[in-house]
Chains A and B, each alone.
Chain A
């Protein structure tokens, strides 16, 4: 759906999404890097489980939530991608520590 403009390919960084390596440009947001790699769904909703992907790209809509380096519900559009970053699908709601549950 998205194609990277030729003059926008700066230094490359590599990160993983659900374990698969993805090459991005330094300075990309996580959400932009996912879209550029053709990934459209990065989370499932807590209520219905429907797949969702980045939408507003400016920190408002919360559609781009992902797990980043083990921390859930990060807004992918507000986090610059970094070398070696481990990004994962945010499945449903933020998982609180198990010992807190009942």
Chain B
């Protein structure tokens, strides 16, 4: 057994130190809990280092209005999170929320986007978000670099983006400032319910705590059932292309093209039902690059410096899962593919709920009960 003299026994162990685990650890330490984070190492599958870094509201919540509300709340709380991290760590996470665009390369694409937003707003108990539908010339006024093939756009003033690598670093720097016991290279092999808590085991030894949160992303799949929880997921892979740094040309993030605060242009992000291989698919990269160049012809001159692929933490219906185990109270699960957008909800609201020991009514809609609706004959 590992003896760790620097830290006292934790009140709560978080499995996973990605954006979800780090946000929860940060929020839980703010609630006065002694927090231990058991994380994998640098080569872990980690959407936190591979994401597209949007803080995005537009179009979210078709079929699940509570998710629209949860996402809007997140976007509204982001400036507070950025400010808190700045004052604790001195790190500016580069949050910018000027509104965001979906650019359409044909009238049919534009109509499909408009139809989707109308479905979102016409569903029962719909939660509205502001948006504008723009034609080519209205779009060009705000995005002068668009090419002639852009037939129109959707603009939502709530959207934005962040420097997500710096955000991830800021969270971990803040954990250190707060004395959170962060242990990399501590993959968890087993979680055992024990009298008055849980025993977490791995090749490194074991840790005991009265409470545990599974925030292990894809790793939740094999851990959840050990404490009476579920992690229903489906495979989802995305690819991203990054160009060399260029002078600023794009004031607003576009859902598939954004220029970072340091000048690099990110082109994203495919959605593939692939959970097996991370090998880059050049056919898919080509389509992404081609669409980006049709949106912004000046991109054709830029060199690509990196491409990568990663697996999303994608639940069966794509909405988050937050739940406390009924059979093993004190064990929680938290997973969402929008770990950037939803970060403030995880750091503040969800962390407070876990510290209090109960998921409140308005957050419990994200429990797994929704997957157990009996099929109709």
A101: contacting residue among B244, B245, B248, B305, CB under 8 A: B248
Which residues of the other chain, B, contact A95 by a CB distance below 8 angstroms?
246-247
CB of B144 within 8 A of CB of A93, answer no
Complex Cα distance A87/B298, Å?
23
Which residues of the other chain, B, contact A101 by a CB distance below 8 angstroms?
144-145, 247-249
Chain B nearest CB, measured from A40 CB (Å): 22
Complex Cα distance A47/B262, Å?
6
Given A46-B262, A93-B263, A96-B298: A73 touches B303 (CB 8 Å cut-off) = yes
CB of A100 within 8 A of CB of B303, answer no
Chain B nearest CB, measured from A53 CB (Å): 18
Chain A nearest CB, measured from B142 CB (Å): 9
Chain B nearest CB, measured from A58 CB (Å): 15
CB of A93 within 8 A of CB of B251, answer no
Tell me the residues in window 32-88 of chain A with beta carbons closer than 8 Å to chain B beta carbons.
46-47, 62, 73
Which residues of the other chain, B, contact A46 by a CB distance below 8 angstroms?
245, 262-263
Residue from A73, A100, A102 with most neighbouring chain B CB atoms (10 Å):
A100
CB of B145 within 8 A of CB of A100, answer yes
Residue from A46, A62, A92 with most neighbouring chain B CB atoms (10 Å):
A46
B302: contacting residue among A47, A92, A94, A99, CB under 8 A: A94
Which residues of the other chain, A, contact B263 by a CB distance below 8 angstroms?
46, 93-94
CB of A96 within 8 A of CB of B246, answer yes
CB of B305 within 8 A of CB of A93, answer no
Q: Contact size class for A?
A: 10 to 19
CB of B245 within 8 A of CB of A97, answer no
Number of A-B contacts (CB under 8 A): 43
Tell me the residues in window 256-296 of chain B with beta carbons closer than 8 Å to chain A beta carbons.
262-263, 296
Given A73-B244, A73-B303, A102-B144: A96 touches B249 (CB 8 Å cut-off) = yes
Complex Cα distance A57/B39, Å?
37
Residue from B145, B245, B263, B296 with most neighbouring chain A CB atoms (10 Å):
B245
B246: contacting residue among A47, A94, A99, A102, CB under 8 A: A94
Which residues of the other chain, B, contact A47 by a CB distance below 8 angstroms?
245, 262
Chain A nearest CB, measured from B287 CB (Å): 23
Complex Cα distance A100/B144, Å?
6
Given A47-B262, A100-B298, A102-B144: A94 touches B249 (CB 8 Å cut-off) = no
The chain A residue sitting closest to B303, CB to CB, is A73
Chain B nearest CB, measured from A71 CB (Å): 8
Ranked nearest first, the 8 interchain pairs of A and B with the lowest CB-CB distance are A93-B245, A100-B145, A46-B245, A94-B246, A93-B263, A100-B298, A100-B249, A96-B249
19 contacts between A and B (CB under 8 A): A46-B262, A46-B263, A62-B305, A73-B244, A92-B247, A93-B263, A94-B247, A94-B302, A95-B246, A95-B247, A96-B247, A97-B298, A99-B144, A100-B145, A100-B296, A101-B145, A101-B248, A102-B144, A102-B251
Given A46-B262, A95-B246, A101-B248, 17 additional A-B pairs, CB 8 A? A46-B263, A62-B244, A62-B305, A93-B246, A93-B247, A94-B263, A96-B246, A96-B247, A96-B249, A96-B298, A96-B301, A100-B145, A100-B249, A101-B144, A101-B247, A102-B144, A102-B249
